[in-house]
A and B are shown apart, each in its own frame.
Chain A
Amino acid sequence: MTTALPTASPPAPEVAKRPSTNPYSLTPEQFTSLGEELDAIRQRVLADRGERDADYIRGVIRAQRGLEVAGRGLLWAGVFPPAWLAGTAALSVSKILDNMEIGHNVMHGQYEWMNDPKLSGKQFEWDTACPADQWRHSHNYMHHTHTNVVGKDRDIGYGILRMSEEQEWNPYYLANPLWAALLASFFQYGVALHDLEVERIASGETSLAEKRELLRAIWEKVRRQTLKDYVVFPALSGPLFVFPLAGNVTANLVRNLWSFTIIFCGHFPEGTHEFSEEETENESRGEWYHRQLLGSANLSGGPLFHIMSGNLSFQIEHHLFPDLPANRYAEISVEVQEVCERYGLPYNVGPLGKQFGSVVRKICRLALPETEQRSRLGRSTGVLLDGLGGLGGATRKLGGLVKKVGAVKKVGRLALRS
């Protein structure tokens, strides 16, 4: 056990990093102070957690349980169209709340400080096909630690889609929009299979045999969920089983489409950045925060929209502080925006329509290989280069014109590949 563990010894000696190609890069001093300022925000909220947050999450749980009971009850009588519609709507909302504002956030350990076993991040189980334990690994650890690092963050495309220019094109990706529509419709199963790393099994990096334990757990969870939603509850309606069955299928579909939409708006709209593995080696706390800031995007909307999105509409705040209670993100966002302004960093926020539209465009654009795109993009590349170069120069204190030109060239090369 011990031999395979990463070293518990002092951190590796500082390696000279290649100059960042990121136009929003900061000086080492700025990285340090950015880290300190964000740590201070985190610290303030940590110290202030209390009854307000406990009441909030319990209120959401109470609403979800009520909606679920109401939804199941109405669908039992789903032969009447108004009951079917109301029941399906209530159950859809219940599943969305359960997965997003409750499940996702509780499993992040946002309420662990309460010491309530039912709100313990390690014990919580949610109403979806993915076993909670696997989610905690693929999401809390892999995605949140390695956010937007191509090759490490498997949320970039879920091993199914091409969501980054850095993913090499092959003809399979011609159907990128189709794969995306399928993933969105069956999102709960896509998430369930996430930790299985299907693409690594296909490439021979790992084998199905090694994943037997994971598969068994997935099967167990899928079986229980299917039994409940598609067998037992419909059976309770006897010959009218088709109404609750259709309602449950619809509620699961609504939840799938909604969570896919919100989640894909978190990291893929225009303006979010990706990082290479080399770039993020020996990252400092400030650099880690910087990457979370640049790699995430927010959605604007009202309080109900934020709750229904599990507060993932505050994706930036969530990625900076994944274990702070989500009901705090709205108030923190004011301070985070102010910090971004002072450091000249972008704060990517927009309404759902705009952000999702840009995700859809990216999904379609990346269906095609770069060679075909290059000629079409050729004319606009010059404009793009100027823009990026100008921004980079404004935020960085690079000594000397030569270095600046070099950096701009690198940005250019990256841009050209797209």
Chain B
Amino acid sequence: MPKLALRPSLRFLDTLAGPHGIDGYLEEIDPLLVTGECRAEVVAVERGTEESVTLSLRPNRVWQGFRAGQFVNVAVEIDGVRHQRCYSPACGEGGSEMEITVKRHPEGLVSNFLAERAAPGMVLGLSQAEGDFLLPQPRPESVLLIGGGSGITPLMAILRTLFAEGYERPLALLHYAPDPARAIYREELERLAAEHPNFKLIRSYTRAPGEGEVDGHFSPLHLPQSDPSFAAAETFACGPPALLDTVRGTWSNGLEHRLHVESFVPPSFVPVGNPGEGAVRFAGSGVEVPNSGASLLEQAEEAGVPAEYGCRMGICHTCTCRKVAGTHKNLITGEVSSAPDEEIQLCVSAALGDLTVEL
């Protein structure tokens, strides 16, 4: 995380406060006072649909703002363990508060926790905004947005930003949801469509045929419904993998440059492979090897990736390394975990299927 440049007076205090630094003391007064870590306080909670919760966050001074379409990593502590998830802010650019909408997944630890327990005053960890799912400058002649499920959130940020700027050129949204009750931001979208003649809203309720303007999952046949010719519009699509696959297929043959895609894969759905399957990727060294099923330390050594190690029996934590993604099994305890961004001991961890470590 980029550290905010400290003023000389703060830097002097940081020396005095060594080795923990000034933040080690400031956060005991108020967790939002820290100067080197982005955090946000929940200021409002709205449970918009049965399946989603919308949080208004007020980030601390470290926050550098975001551009519509980008995402942030939100960290929340559940039973002592910090979990991180990506969410796209749904609010317009600028402003001191930020809005995220979290869709509940039946087995989603973080989404269920936030849906049930989020309350004003709660402090969450935050990363700076990332991602290149961005509106070009100057703004395009026409814009087409395609969203499914919680993929609507970055598109809301784009819509709200465009309207705030007074965008008057053709704009359309193809919105996919199971039924009207589960369509996130439905009311606001209807209101925007009524207020702005240049904005065309086309809904498909995949489990409630006849309720929307079109029916079923995304198909190129839905496109003529949108006013701007789809080939000419700058297109932004965000949603589940199946939706994005069909969209990519449609925007082939020379149209790819107009298509921007952002995919959402909830971590609880990471496929779990077998010990000898998939590939192990050492992200820091740019090396990828077929997963042999041996401990990750042994695989790193065989691949010539320099790895620190000590006891080789899981006690000294010298080989501890951050797992970026994938499922690993602890060879001593037998514990299996698919959590992303997790510290693991390479000497006693084996990959189940594809796995990436920061080594």
B305 and chain A: residue at smallest CB distance: A1
A6 to B342: give the CA distance in the assembly, Å: 27
Is B313 in contact with A288, judged by CB distance below 8 angstroms?
yes
Q: Mark B334-346, 1 if CB is under 8 A from A, else 0.
A: 0100000111010
B311 with A115: CB separation less than 8 A? no
Q: Fill in one digit per residue for A274-295: 1 if any B CB lies within 8 Å of its CB, else 0.
A: 0000000000010010000000
Q: Which residues of B contact A114 (CB under 8 A)?
A: 77, 80-82
Interface membership of A43, Cβ < 8 A: yes
Of residues 292 through 329 on chain B, the ones whose CB sits less than 8 Å from some CB of chain A are 294-295, 297-298, 301-302, 304, 306, 310-313, 315-318, 320
On whether the beta carbons of A54 and B343 are closer than 8 Å, the reply is no
A141 contacts B82, C-beta separation under 8 Å: no
CB nearest neighbor in B for A63: B28
* Residue from A8, A54, A112, A227 within 8 A of B317 (CB atoms): A112
A322 and B315 contact, CB distance less than 8 A: yes
Is A374 positioned at the interface, with any CB of B under 8 Å from its CB?
no
Task: Give the contacting residue for A136; candidates B304, B318, B341, B342; CB below 8 A.
Answer: B318
Check B80–A49 contact: CB distance below 8 A.
yes
B16 touches A145 (CB 8 A): no
Residues in A with CB closer than 8 Å to B294 are 8
CB distance from B277 to the nearest CB of A (A): 20
Question: Smallest Cβ distance from A60 to chain B, in angstroms?
Answer: 12
- Contact call A145/B315, Cβ cutoff below 8 A: yes
In the complex, the answer to whether A140 meets B18 with C-beta atoms within 8 Å is no
Known contacts A108-B317, A323-B317; decide if A1 and B304 are in contact (CB<8 Å).
yes
Whether, in the assembled complex, A65 has its beta carbon less than 8 Å from a beta carbon of chain B, the answer is: yes
A323 touches B19 (CB 8 A): no
A142 to chain B: which residues have CB within 8 Å?
Answer: 310
Docked pose: A140 CA to B294 CA in angstroms = 24
- Write out the residue numbers on chain B whose beta carbons fall within 8 Å of the beta carbon of A69: 25
> Any chain B CB within 8 A of the CB of A328?
no
Q: Is the CB of A145 within 8 A of B310?
A: yes
* Closest beta carbon of chain B to A383's beta carbon, Å: 38
Is B15 located at the chain interface by the 8 A CB criterion?
A: yes
For the complex, what is the distance from the CA of A285 to the CA of B25, rounded to whole Å? Answer: 42
B19 touches A1 (CB 8 A): no
SS class, residues of chain A in contact with chain B: helix
| Given A224-B18, A233-B16; A8-B82 close (CB under 8 Å) | no
Which residues of chain A from 104 to 143 have a CB within 8 Å of any chain B CB? Answer: 108-109, 112-116, 118, 120-122, 125-127, 136-137, 140-142
The reply on A232 being an interface residue by CB < 8 A is yes
Contacts of A120 in B (CB 8 A): 343
Of all chain B residues, the one with the shortest Cβ separation from A288 is: B313
Q: Tell me if B313 and A115 are in contact (CB < 8 A).
A: no
Q: Given contacts A69-B25, A120-B343, A227-B15, are A109 and B317 in contact (CB under 8 A)? A: yes
Q: Does B260 make an interface contact (CB < 8 A)? A: no
Contact status B320-A122, CB under 8 Å: yes
- Given A8-B301, A228-B15, the answer on whether A115 and B343 have CB atoms closer than 8 Å is yes
Q: Which residue of B lies closest to A49 (CB)?
A: B80
Chain B residues within 8 Å of A109, by CB? 317, 320, 343, 345
Q: A331 on the interface (CB 8 Å rule)?
A: no
Residues of B within 8 Å of A213, CB to CB, are none
Which residue of B is nearest A132, CB measured?
B19
Q: How far is the CA of A112 from the CA of B341 in the complex (A)?
A: 12
Min CB distance B89 to A, Å, is 23
In the assembled complex, A50 has its CB within 8 A of some CB on chain B: yes
For A288, the chain B residues whose CB sits under 8 A away are 313
Within the complex, what minimum Cβ distance (angstroms) separates B154 from chain A? Answer: 26
Q: Do the beta carbons of A137 and B310 come within 8 Å of each other?
A: yes
Which A residue's beta carbon lies closest to that of B310?
A141
Specify which chain A residues have a CB less than 8 angstroms from the CB of B77 in the assembled complex: 54, 114, 116
Contacts of B298 in A (CB 8 A): 8
B333 at the interface (CB under 8 A from A): yes
CB-nearest residue of chain A to B297: A8
Residues of chain B lying within 8 A (CB to CB) of residue A62:
28
Contact B304 A2, beta carbon cutoff 8 Å: yes
Q: Which of A51, A224, A225, A285 contacts B79 (CB 8 A)?
A: A51
Q: Is A53 an interface residue (CB 8 A)?
A: yes
Looking at the complex, which one of B19, B83, B316 makes contact with A224 (CB distance below 8 Å)? B19
- Given A43-B333, A127-B19, answer yes or no on A113-B310 (Cβ-Cβ < 8 Å): no
**Chain A's nearest CB lies how many Å from the CB of B311?**
4
Q: Give complex CA distance A62, B294 in Å.
A: 42
| C-alpha spacing A136/B308, complex, angstroms | 12
8 Å CB interface, A40-55 against B: 43, 46, 49-55
B260-271 interface bits toward A, Cβ cutoff 8 Å, 1 = contact, 0 = none:
000000000000
How near does chain B come to A173, taking the closest CB pair, in angstroms?
30
Chain A residues with CB under 8 Å of B121's CB are none
Knowing that A46-B335, A62-B28 touch, tell me 10 more A-B residue pairs with CB under 8 angstroms: A50-B81, A66-B28, A113-B81, A114-B77, A121-B320, A126-B19, A141-B311, A224-B15, A232-B16, A288-B313
In the complex, 26 of the A-B residue pairs with CB atoms within 8 angstroms, ordered by the A residue number, are: A2-B301, A6-B312, A8-B297, A8-B302, A43-B333, A49-B80, A50-B80, A51-B79, A65-B25, A65-B28, A112-B320, A113-B81, A114-B80, A114-B81, A115-B341, A116-B77, A121-B320, A122-B317, A137-B310, A140-B315, A140-B318, A145-B310, A145-B316, A225-B18, A227-B15, A232-B15
Using a CB–CB distance below 8 Å, which chain A residues touch chain B?
1-2, 5-6, 8, 39, 43, 46, 49-55, 61-62, 65-66, 69, 108-109, 112-116, 118, 120-122, 125-127, 136-137, 140-142, 144-145, 224-225, 227-228, 232-233, 285, 288, 322-323
